[in-house]
């Protein structure tokens, strides 16, 4: 299977600086979206540095991916998952160190959603509230879990879904890359098959989506750049309060 990707980012209607960053590499099948946190603390630096560090870390150890592709096993799969997790941890340590050295950058951090395709599997690494979706058979599914205060309360039964929709502070995240020198990274595998379409995005997009059904109506479109532009137009049309980043990946036979 051969992936084909397209990434787009827009500053939105309310922000002066775009603190989102993204990366697409169909050669090694790695895709990343990062949403910087910090405002004056240079969130745009945090997201850009995180993307660069994750990409560099993975490309320096492509042998781990090759071992899995040559001889798939629980052991070699664990190696790939650990590679992606370690890449995010390395970015976390680096951003935290940069902020410690420069008081003006104190507090800068970033979300990360990363997808690494290896054969018929996708390895996902997740920190924060950017998201990874998979569109298959006409239906869209959110694969990642938001690390937000609202989602924590929902998960533990502290509020109802109706209360969550009206609650303030929906963008308060409980995990971020660089806030401390270590972060708990969610990693997991998902199935990949021809015809799948993946979407990685920042909350500047998914915060305006009504549900996965609405998203699915957009993701059936073609070509990828037109789909991305339509989704950015949707977010801006509903307020555009944040930076908007969308990265789309088609899995071709």
Summarize the chain as % helix, strand, coil (round to 5).
40, 30, 30
For the stretch 99-113, pLDDT in tens is: 999 888 888 999 999
- Please provide residue 57's backbone torsions phi and psi, each rounded to the nearest 5 degrees: -60, -45
Q: What is the reported pTM?
A: 0.95
Pairing of β 244-252 and β 197-201? antiparallel
Structural domain total, the chain: 1
Average pLDDT over residues 86-91: 98
Range of 145's domain?
2-252
Say yes or no to pLDDT of 221 above 90. no
Q: Which pLDDT tens digit goes with each residue over 26-41?
A: 999 999 999 998 766 6
Lowest mean pLDDT among 83-87, 167-171, 173-177, 182-186: 167-171
Cα-based distances in Å from 161 to 150, 204, 205: 10, 21, 20
Rounded-to-integer distance, Cα 94 and Cα 84, Å? 16
Q: Using one digit for the tens of pLDDT, what is the confidence trace for 128-153?
A: 999 999 999 999 999 999 999 998 88
CATH number at residue 9: 3.60.40.10
Percent of the chain with pLDDT over 70: 99
At 158 the pLDDT is 87
Distance CA 38, CA 28 (A): 31
């Amino acid at each position: 299977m051969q992936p084909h990707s397209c990434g787009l980012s827009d500053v939105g209607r309310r922000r002066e600086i775009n603190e989102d960053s993204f990366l697409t590499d169909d050669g090694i099948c790695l895709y990343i979206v990062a949403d910087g946190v910090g405002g004056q603390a240079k969130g745009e630096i945090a997201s850009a540095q995180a993307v660069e560090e994750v990409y560099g870390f993975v490309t320096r150890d492509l042998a781990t991916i090759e071992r899995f592709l040559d001889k798939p096993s629980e052991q070699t799969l664990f190696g790939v998952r650990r590679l992606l997790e370690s890449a995010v941890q390395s970015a976390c340590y680096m951003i935290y160190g940069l902020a410690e050295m420069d008081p003006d950058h104190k507090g800068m951090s970033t979300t990360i959603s990363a997808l690494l395709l290896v054969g018929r599997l996708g390895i996902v690494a997740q920190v924060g509230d950017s998201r990874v979706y998979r569109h298959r058979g006409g239906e869209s599914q959110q694969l990642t879990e938001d690390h937000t205060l609202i989602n924590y309360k929902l998960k533990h039964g502290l509020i109802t879904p109706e209360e969550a929709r009206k609650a303030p502070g929906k963008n308060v995240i409980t995990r971020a890359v660089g806030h401390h020198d270590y972060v708990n990274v969610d990693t997991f595998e998902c199935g990949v098959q021809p015809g799948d379409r993946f979407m990685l995005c920042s909350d500047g997009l998914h915060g305006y989506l009504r549900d996965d059904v609405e998203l699915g109506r957009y993701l059936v479109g073609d070509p990828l750049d037109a789909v991305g532009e339509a989704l950015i137009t949707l977010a801006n049309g509903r307020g555009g309060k944040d930076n908007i980043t969308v990265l789309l990946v088609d899995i071709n036979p």
